[in-house]
């Protein structure tokens, strides 16, 4: 069983839609949660970072963590064609180096005009 499960999609939505991306995890040691965005043929780019249960908002993006359910989400409001990319959740256990991340498989998102 994978430590992090993420639906690979693909997910296709119209411009302006609210997008919901999700990951579940099995390792209780994970304490830090991130969302990365990866454009085609590029490296992952950090979008959101959080370490507590609850919501964190940054512009059109909201990251949600529910540690009791081992479930994290990323919401994108008013989605734009420029949001079309692969979205990766990533997690890190406490006591490990910041760069030792466990990734989900990534969800391919397309926002069409």
Partner 1 sequence: EAGVTQFPSHSVIEKGQTVTLRCDPISGHDNLYWYRRVMGKEIKFLLHFVKESKQDESGMPNNRFLAERTGGTYSTLKVQPAELEDSGVYFCASSQDWTIRNTIYFGEGSWLTVV
Among 1, 95, 100, 113, binds partner 1 (CB under 8 A): 100
Instruction: List the x/- string, 6-45, binding to partner 1 by CB under 8 A.
Output: x-------------------------x--------xxxxx
| Shortest distance (Å) from residue 67 CB to partner 1 | 16
Write out the binding residues for partner 1, residues 38-97 only, by CB under 8 A. Answer: 41-46, 51, 88, 96-97
Contacts of 105 (CB under 8 A, 6+ apart): 5, 6, 8, 88
3-state helix, strand, coil in the chain (%, to 5): 5, 55, 40
Task: Using the Cα atoms of residue 62, residue 26, residue 51 and residue 98 in order, give the sign of their dihedral.
Answer: negative
- Smaller CB distance to partner 1: residue 29 or 46? 46
Minimum CB distance to partner 1 smaller for 6 or for 64: 6
CA 109 to chain centre: 12
When binding is defined by CB under 8 A, the residue of 19, 48, 79, 106 that contacts partner 1 is 106
Which of 112, 106, 91 shows the shortest CA–CA distance to 42?
106
| Residue 13 vs 31, nearer CB to partner 1 | 31
User: With respect to partner 1, which residue has the nearer C-beta, 37 or 64?
Assistant: 37
């Amino acid at each position: 069983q994978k430590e992090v499960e993420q639906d690979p999609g693909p997910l296709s939505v119209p411009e302006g839609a609210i997008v919901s991306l999700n990951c579940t995890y099995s390792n209780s040691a994970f304490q830090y949660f991130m969302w990365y965005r990866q454009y085609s043929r590029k490296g992952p780019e950090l979008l959101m970072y959080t370490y507590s249960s609850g919501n964190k908002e940054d512009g059109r993006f909201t990251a949600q963590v529910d540690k009791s359910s081992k479930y994290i989400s990323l919401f994108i409001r008013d989605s734009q064609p420029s949001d079309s990319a692969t979205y990766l959740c990533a997690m890190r256990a406490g006591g490990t180096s910041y760069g030792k991340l466990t990734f989900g498989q990534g969800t391919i998102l397309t926002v069409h005009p």
